[in-house]
């Protein structure tokens, strides 16, 4: 229908060849209006309306080139293109055909026809590009006076920066926005040692003395004499004497520097309150092998080596057996054991004894020589210098392999010397049996080395220091002085020489210090204790000489043990051999009095010097019977030379030499027997008494004189020996041995070991008071007797 309207019916108007039809735009629009949606041009309504031209080309597409039957050319151009080219194509075809048919056809030249300019939008661009004044230009007219023109003018230079605001600049600044802060930087570092050269030069100064040795100027004797007799000295002394005497008297009157406060404090501490008094158990030593069934008879501390203590053991005998001592063959070896603090289980050294040793002592100047007195009356000497080093380094037993010689007489004894055993030291010398005591040697002491006795009995100063002399006493009523020289005796009688050959072969490891006296050792002097007129014999058990002063060579000054007083008072009837003359200075001031304690409990005081030219017939011998039983201790006080402590039986007594009335102090009879006693080494008024119930009674004379100030139980059995010792300023020991063979070492507490300030003076006062009291009592007694 549309085709009919527009005259483009197929195959009628529009053919394949003539496919174009121009349809007027108005017609289309008309059609659109009339037929609205039905119209075929409805979908292209817009295109049609926009079509600028008047005619639209509709092209019949027989070949369905664009998919439809008809297609509408939307634009003029296309229309033109379609119209023309197909025409041209047609024309060309036609031309070609025509050309084929006709040869040439000249196109008529048509001059270009002006077409209306179609704006394609280029005028816009042109407009944009053109420069136009947006702002109207302002006109200025500047005028100046004419005369100023062309006038000379001078120009000056001015720095713009000097004038403020004369210029404005925009300085560059660092914009922080664009700077990157570096937070980490890898840097390489190299260490190079700085080397610097320097030089020094010492100055050579003048030489100076570093040490000077000089000796003091001294006046010769003539000059001294001259001076002494000069007038000037006399005047000087007269003028000076008064001053000096004033000063001396001042000091005598009173001590200006005495600190009363301090003294008060000390008194307080000693009198008030009850300080803890005790004996602290330090160590105890016992040995099962050697000390079985044995009791310790004597204790001796080694004078120089710290912590070494020696005990001698003997068989425990009951009273009856002790009284009738016979030479029993002892199955067990009698020994002296050396103990060390560092090794409580094994004895350090064992000294072999021929018989049981009752008492022994270390030599005062050479602690390697030990002398002991045996039960059978012999005196034995040992020399332990080989083992001194071992003792000094006493630690748990070191392995010592002791070489034993092949030919041994007493092989059985020496087989004991195994490598782990403490070394067994054989005795060096034994006194000859004929000349020694008949009964056991109960006390032995070394005489001080500054005097010695010669055959006369006179005491002489001892020049040589190695000379040794012993004093022994025994209940066979004799006191023997022995001489044990270290070197060979120059004079030896032939009989002695003969005896020497009889000496049996000594084992080679025994030092032959005393070889020349072995078995032929004779005492120097023998003193019989018996009184001529009464014919009583004293059997001394303990002896105390006055002048025995042992100074052991030790580092500490405390070690000057006062020698135990060997008091042997013998009657002046002494048996003496022929005197030998010696050119030594005779000592005048040596006191030769001595005390002796006897078996029966008597204390005898006498003098051993033979009074050749004395007038008195009766020698001054004093005898006191205080104790009921055997005296077991007789000791001088280490502080007072003339105070003696005697212990025996049920009581003890303190004596003062020179006071002949009786003891200064006598204790009451105690329940148990007192078996041992010793003065304390540090406190003048303290002494220790051992009892048979195993107690130690500490007596302090400043506190109580009627009973012990302290009683402490040490062991269960009888105490046999006490020995105090000072090892160091802090350690004061008390060695206590009991009947079971155990050695207890106790540490003395401070209150018992440190004296208070004026204790010495106090004790002295006390003794003097007692003496006065005794005298007073005596006087009263005499007066009473006179009255009757």
Partner 1 sequence: AEVEETLKRIQAHKGVAATIVINAEGIPIRTTLDNSTTVQYAGLLHQLTMKARSTVRDIDPQNDLTFLRIRSKKHEIMVAPDKEYLLIVIQNPCE
Total residues interacting with partner 1, rule: CB under 8 A: 28
The owner of tokens 């009688």 is 493
Query: Running DSSP on this structure, what letter comes out for residue 339?
Result: E
Is residue 240 a contact residue for partner 1 (CB under 8 A)?
Answer: yes
In the numeric block, which tokens belong to residue 569?
A: 């008072």
Candidates 491, 517, 493; CA nearest to 581 is 491
Is residue 265 a contact residue for partner 1 (CB under 8 A)?
Answer: no
Query: Among the candidate windows 233-241, 274-282, 467-475, 674-682, which touches partner 1 by CB under 8 A?
Result: 233-241
CB 648 within 8 A of CB 630: yes
Beta carbon of residue 222, minimum distance to partner 1 (angstroms, whole number): 12
Beta carbon of residue 250, minimum distance to partner 1 (angstroms, whole number): 9
Query: Among the candidate windows 252-260, 282-290, 451-459, 676-684, which touches partner 1 by CB under 8 A?
Result: 252-260
Beta carbon nearer to partner 1, 244 or 264: 244
CB 558 within 8 A of CB 618: no
Is residue 257 a contact residue for partner 1 (CB under 8 A)?
Answer: yes
Beta carbon nearer to partner 1, 251 or 660: 251
CB 582 within 8 A of CB 455: no
Beta carbon of residue 236, minimum distance to partner 1 (angstroms, whole number): 5
Beta carbon nearer to partner 1, 140 or 257: 257
Determine the Cα angle at 348 with ends 345 and 353, to 5°: 110
Query: Among the candidate windows 38-46, 67-75, 76-84, 250-258, which touches partner 1 by CB under 8 A?
Result: 250-258
The owner of tokens 């209006």 is 33
Residue from 245, 512, 750, 783 touching partner 1 (CB under 8 A): that is 245
Beta carbon nearer to partner 1, 249 or 407: 249
Residue from 10, 237, 264, 281 touching partner 1 (CB under 8 A): that is 237
Binding mask 203-222 for partner 1 (x = CB under 8 A): -------------xxxx---
Beta carbon of residue 233, minimum distance to partner 1 (angstroms, whole number): 6
Query: Among the candidate windows 71-79, 249-257, 475-483, 648-656, which touches partner 1 by CB under 8 A?
Result: 249-257
Beta carbon nearer to partner 1, 252 or 399: 252
Beta carbon of residue 253, minimum distance to partner 1 (angstroms, whole number): 9
Q: Which H, E and C letters describe 396-434, residue by residue?
A: CCCCCCCCCCCCCCCHHHHCCCCCCCCCEECCCEEECCC
Beta carbon of residue 232, minimum distance to partner 1 (angstroms, whole number): 6
The owner of tokens 């009284």 is 323
The owner of tokens 């018989």 is 355
Compute φ and ψ for 379, nearest 5 degrees. Answer: -110, 135
Beta carbon of residue 365, minimum distance to partner 1 (angstroms, whole number): 23
Is residue 239 a contact residue for partner 1 (CB under 8 A)?
Answer: yes
Beta carbon of residue 596, minimum distance to partner 1 (angstroms, whole number): 36
Beta carbon nearer to partner 1, 128 or 252: 252
- Report the alpha-carbon distance of residue 516 to residue 747 in Å, rounded: 42
Beta carbon of residue 637, minimum distance to partner 1 (angstroms, whole number): 20
Residue from 199, 255, 329, 616 touching partner 1 (CB under 8 A): that is 255
Q: Which H, E and C letters describe 180-191, residue by residue?
A: CCCCCCCCCCCC
In the numeric block, which tokens belong to residue 233?
A: 């000295």
Beta carbon of residue 238, minimum distance to partner 1 (angstroms, whole number): 7
In the numeric block, which tokens belong to residue 506?
A: 């000594």
Beta carbon of residue 246, minimum distance to partner 1 (angstroms, whole number): 9
Is residue 233 a contact residue for partner 1 (CB under 8 A)?
Answer: yes
Beta carbon nearer to partner 1, 108 or 216: 216
Query: Among the candidate windows 52-60, 251-259, 407-415, 418-426, which touches partner 1 by CB under 8 A?
Result: 251-259
Candidates 622, 656, 653, 623; CA nearest to 639 is 656
Residue from 78, 247, 466, 498 touching partner 1 (CB under 8 A): that is 247
Residue 705: strand, helix, or coil: coil
Beta carbon nearer to partner 1, 250 or 782: 250
Q: Which H, E and C letters describe 103-160, residue by residue?
A: CCCCCCCCCCCCCCCCCCCHHHHHHHHCCCCCCCCCCCCCCCCHHHCCCCCCCCCCCC
* Those residues with Cβ within 8 angstroms of residue 398's Cβ, 6 or more apart along the chain or in another chain: 390
Is residue 557 a contact residue for partner 1 (CB under 8 A)?
Answer: no
Beta carbon nearer to partner 1, 236 or 418: 236
Burial of 272 (0-12, 13-18, 19+ CB in 10 A): exposed
- Strands (DSSP E) along 590-650, which ranges? 593-598, 602-607, 622-625, 631-636, 643-648
Is residue 262 a contact residue for partner 1 (CB under 8 A)?
Answer: no
Beta carbon of residue 221, minimum distance to partner 1 (angstroms, whole number): 11
- Report the alpha-carbon distance of residue 399 to residue 672 in Å, rounded: 46
Beta carbon nearer to partner 1, 242 or 401: 242
Beta carbon nearer to partner 1, 247 or 265: 247
- Report the alpha-carbon distance of residue 370 to residue 470 in Å, rounded: 11
Residue from 10, 36, 78, 244 touching partner 1 (CB under 8 A): that is 244
Query: Running DSSP on this structure, what letter comes out for residue 131?
Result: -
Beta carbon nearer to partner 1, 15 or 230: 230
Distance of CA 186 to the CA centre of its chain: 53
Is residue 498 a contact residue for partner 1 (CB under 8 A)?
Answer: no
Beta carbon of residue 245, minimum distance to partner 1 (angstroms, whole number): 7
Beta carbon nearer to partner 1, 42 or 760: 760
Beta carbon nearer to partner 1, 236 or 505: 236
Helix then strand count (H, E) for the chain reads: 14, 35
Beta carbon of residue 765, minimum distance to partner 1 (angstroms, whole number): 14
Is residue 264 a contact residue for partner 1 (CB under 8 A)?
Answer: no
- Report the alpha-carbon distance of residue 390 to residue 394 in Å, rounded: 6
Beta carbon nearer to partner 1, 536 or 758: 758
CB 501 within 8 A of CB 564: no
Compute φ and ψ for 255, nearest 5 degrees. Answer: -90, 105
Which alpha helices (H) appear in 276-428, and where do they start and end? 319-323, 388-392, 411-414
Determine the Cα angle at 633 with ends 368 and 593, to 5°: 85
Candidates 364, 334, 367; CA nearest to 352 is 334
Q: Which long-range contacts (CB under 8 A, 24 or more apart) does 622-625 make?
A: 622/660, 624/655, 624/662, 624/663, 625/600, 625/601
Determine the Cα angle at 183 with ends 178 and 185, to 5°: 115
Beta carbon of residue 205, minimum distance to partner 1 (angstroms, whole number): 28
Beta carbon nearer to partner 1, 233 or 265: 233
Is residue 266 a contact residue for partner 1 (CB under 8 A)?
Answer: no
Is residue 36 a contact residue for partner 1 (CB under 8 A)?
Answer: no
Beta carbon of residue 760, minimum distance to partner 1 (angstroms, whole number): 10
- Report the alpha-carbon distance of residue 452 to residue 592 in Å, rounded: 12
Beta carbon of residue 772, minimum distance to partner 1 (angstroms, whole number): 21
Residue from 16, 24, 85, 236 touching partner 1 (CB under 8 A): that is 236
Beta carbon of residue 492, minimum distance to partner 1 (angstroms, whole number): 41
Is residue 49 a contact residue for partner 1 (CB under 8 A)?
Answer: no
Query: Among the candidate windows 38-46, 90-98, 178-186, 238-246, which touches partner 1 by CB under 8 A?
Result: 238-246
Candidates 653, 688, 698, 692; CA nearest to 675 is 692
CB 365 within 8 A of CB 448: no
Residues at the site binding partner 1, with contacts judged by CB under 8 A:
216-219, 224, 227-229, 232-234, 236-241, 243-245, 247-249, 251-252, 255, 257-258
């Amino acid at each position: 229908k549309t085709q009919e309207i527009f005259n483009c019916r197929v195959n009628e108007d529009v053919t394949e060849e003539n496919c174009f039809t121009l349809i007027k735009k108005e017609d289309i629009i008309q059609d659109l209006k009339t037929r609205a949606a039905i119209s075929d041009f409805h979908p292209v309504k817009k295109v049609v309306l926009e079509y600028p031209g008047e005619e639209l080309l509709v092209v019949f597409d027989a070949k369905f080139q664009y998919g439809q039957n008809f297609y509408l050319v939307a634009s003029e151009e296309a229309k033109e293109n379609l119209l023309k080219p197909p025409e041209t194509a047609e024309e060309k075809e036609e031309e070609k055909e025509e050309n084929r048919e006709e040869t040439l056809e000249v196109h008529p030249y048509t001059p270009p026809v002006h077409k209306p300019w179609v704006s394609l939008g280029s005028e816009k661009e042109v407009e944009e590009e053109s420069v136009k004044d947006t702002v109207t230009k302002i006109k200025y007219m500047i005028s100046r006076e004419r005369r100023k023109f062309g006038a000379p003018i001078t120009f000056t230079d001015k720095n713009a920066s000097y004038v403020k605001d004369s210029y404005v600049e925009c300085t560059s600044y660092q914009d922080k926005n664009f700077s990157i802060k570096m937070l980490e930087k890898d840097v390489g570092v190299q260490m190079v040692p700085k080397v610097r050269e320097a030089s020094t030069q010492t100055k050579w100064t003048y030489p100076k003395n570093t040490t000077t040795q000089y000796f003091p100027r001294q006046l010769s004797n003539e000059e001294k004499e001259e001076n002494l007799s000069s007038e000037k000295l006399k005047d000087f002394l007269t003028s000076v004497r008064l001053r000096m005497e004033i000063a001396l008297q001042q000091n005598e009157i009173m001590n200006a520097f005495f600190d009363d406060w301090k003294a008060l404090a000390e008194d307080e501490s000693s009198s008030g309150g009850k300080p803890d008094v005790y004996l602290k158990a330090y160590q105890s030593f016992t040995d099962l092998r050697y000390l079985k069934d044995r009791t310790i008879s004597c204790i001796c501390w080694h004078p120089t080596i710290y912590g070494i203590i020696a005990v001698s053991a003997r068989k425990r005998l009951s009273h009856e057996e002790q009284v009738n001592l016979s030479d029993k063959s002892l199955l067990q070896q009698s020994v002296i054991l050396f103990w060390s603090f560092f090794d409580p289980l094994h004895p350090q050294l064992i000294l072999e004894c021929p018989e049981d040793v009752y008492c022994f002592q270390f030599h005062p100047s050479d602690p390697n020589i030990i002398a002991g007195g045996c039960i059978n009356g012999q005196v034995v000497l040992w020399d332990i210098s080989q083992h001194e080093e071992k003792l000094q380094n006493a630690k748990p037993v070191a392995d010592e392999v002791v070489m034993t010689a092949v030919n041994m007489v007493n092989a059985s004894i020496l087989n004991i010397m195994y490598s782990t055993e403490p070394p067994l030291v054989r005795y060096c010398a034994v006194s000859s049996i004929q000349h020694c005591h008949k009964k056991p040697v109960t006390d032995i002491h070394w005489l001080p080395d500054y005097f010695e006795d010669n055959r006369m009995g006179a005491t002489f100063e001892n020049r040589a220091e190695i000379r040794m002399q012993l004093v022994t006493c025994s209940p066979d009523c004799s006191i023997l002085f022995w001489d044990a020289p270290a070197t060979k005796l120059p004079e030896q009688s032939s009989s002695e020489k003969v005896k020497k050959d009889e000496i049996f072969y000594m084992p080679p490891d025994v030092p032959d210090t005393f070889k020349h006296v072995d078995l032929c050792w004779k005492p120097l002097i023998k003193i019989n204790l018996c009184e001529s007129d009464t014919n009583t014999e004293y059997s001394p058990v303990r002896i105390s000489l006055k002048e025995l002063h042992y100074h052991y060579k030790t580092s500490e000054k405390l070690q000057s043990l006062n020698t135990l007083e060997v008091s042997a008072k013998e009657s002046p009837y002494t048996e003496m051999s022929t005197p030998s003359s010696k050119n030594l200075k005779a000592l005048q001031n040596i006191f030769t009095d001595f005390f002796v304690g006897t078996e029966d409990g008597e204390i005898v005081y006498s003098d051993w010097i033979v009074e050749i030219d004395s007038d008195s017939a009766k020698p001054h011998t004093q005898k006191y019977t205080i104790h009921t039983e055997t005296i077991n201790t007789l000791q001088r006080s280490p502080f007072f030379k003339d105070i003696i402590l005697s212990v025996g039986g049920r009581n003890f007594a303190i004596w003062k030499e020179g006071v002949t009335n009786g003891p200064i102090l006598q204790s009451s009879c105690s329940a148990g027997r007192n078996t041992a006693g010793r003065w304390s080494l540090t406190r003048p008024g303290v002494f220790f008494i051992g009892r048979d119930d195993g107690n130690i009674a500490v007596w302090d004379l400043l506190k109580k004189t009627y009973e012990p100030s302290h009683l402490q139980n040490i062991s269960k059995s009888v105490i046999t020996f006490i020995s105090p010792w000072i090892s160091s300023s802090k350690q004061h020991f008390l060695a206590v041995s009991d009947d079971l063979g155990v050695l207890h070492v106790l540490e003395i507490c401070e209150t018992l070991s440190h004296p208070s300030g004026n204790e010495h003076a106090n004790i002295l006062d006390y003794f003097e008071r007692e003496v006065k009291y005794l005298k007073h009592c005596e006087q009263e007694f005499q007066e009473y007797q006179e009255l009757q």
